[in-house]
Amino acid sequence: MINSKRMAKRFQDLVEIDSVSRHEFDVSQAIKKILIDMGASIYYDTAKDQVNGDCSNLVAKFKGNVNVEPLFLSGHMDTVEPGNNIKVQFKNGIFTSDGTTILGADDKSAIAIILEVMDVILENKLDYPPIEIIFTVCEEIGLLGAKYFDYSLMDSKFGYILDSIDTKGIITKAPAANKIKFKVFGKAAHAGAEPEKGINAIVVASKAISQLQLGRIDEKTTCNLGVIKGGVATNIVPEFVEIRGEVRSHDENRLKTITDDIVNTFYDVTQNFKKTLQQDLLDNSDLPRVETTIENDFPSTNIPDDHRAIVLARKAADNLGISLESKTTGGGADANIFFSKGICAGVLGTGMTDVHTLKESIDIKDMENAAKLVLEILKVHVSGKIF
């Protein structure tokens, strides 16, 4: 029943509407028109004011024709850079860009799939449950749409987010993450004439970084320093450097421990560095010093395999002859934020590959399979026969 040509056309149309983070208004209007034509009730929250964008989260509600518990389907409208003026190529069933931009299958494949499922339901007059469709903004820059979403607009307590690769997997576990920012302050001086009068902030930071364990800490925990900015010129002892990084873990206690260890390392190195300085640099000065900012970027997700969302999805997959495996990811998604609000969202795949790169692609067959699975999930939910 899935109309592949219609879904492919809609996907291409949506992809070619620019919607990098904070600029989702145009694509939102195109989606809104499609949903209104389907008979949905449309709502926007006020997230744009918090994310400093031109568009808020879009919610579409379908009443359904069977009195069962509502569920939601979701994806995000924004894309990463370079995501403007995308020119879609479609050859041998594979979508790509022209190589100068990303494709935007992350996450417009989700939008096209969800809209196609609703088209199939309505045109074939199928039984279906109350459905809430949530298309978020600014997912790619910190899950901001989900963080500022007005959850009073939702009645559903479980559902599915289409924002993964594997069409035969459902993500049930994702880590929590802390963002860390260090500001290291030194003292400027002429690097050639009198370097002895300076305190090199980059050197202080480097000593701290050299003592850290980065990358994979253990099977549940990772750590990365990804941005460093500082210095003015090669002939000036740098008086300031900023370092930004993150810690992720599936274990909340481990997340705190590793975060604390990193922070303590920076403070200890800064204090020890003072012992190496000349006395005249120490007089009436608190330099070098470090300032630290820690922000919880997103909480963890941990959905048990016996949760109705997982059981329902697996039953639907089984009906289609698919073995749907529970997956653990190291990435974050809107599902993490939903989970912290008491709303369980299994993350399903659409088949997108090489996301966030110029080589991004997606096979229309994978989109078809994803649409079939979502449609079957809705059918099984209506039937109530999940065992």
Q: How far apart are CA 283 and CA 267, in angstroms?
A: 20
- Cβ partners under 8 Å of residue 119, min gap 6: 3, 6, 38
231 in the Ramachandran plot: left (φ > 0), alpha (ψ -120 to 50) or beta? left
Active-site pick, 24, 45, 78, 376: 78
Select from 133, 112, 98 the least CA-distant residue to 13: 112
Task: Output the CA–CA distances (angstroms, integers) from residue 172 to 184, 226, 318, in the order listed.
Answer: 39, 27, 18
CB 55 within 8 A of CB 28: yes
Question: Per the structure block, which two tokens stand in for 335?
Answer: 């599902």
45 flagged as catalytic: no
User: 119, 132, 139, 163: which is the annotated catalytic residue?
Assistant: 139
Query: Which of 342, 350, 344 has the alpha carbon at shortest distance from 373?
Result: 350
Q: Is 78 one of the annotated active-site residues of the chain? A: yes
- Which residue from 231, 101, 105, 100 is spatially nearest to 164, judged by alpha carbons? 105
Distance CA(121)–CA(65), nearest Å, equals 11
Active site residues: 78, 139
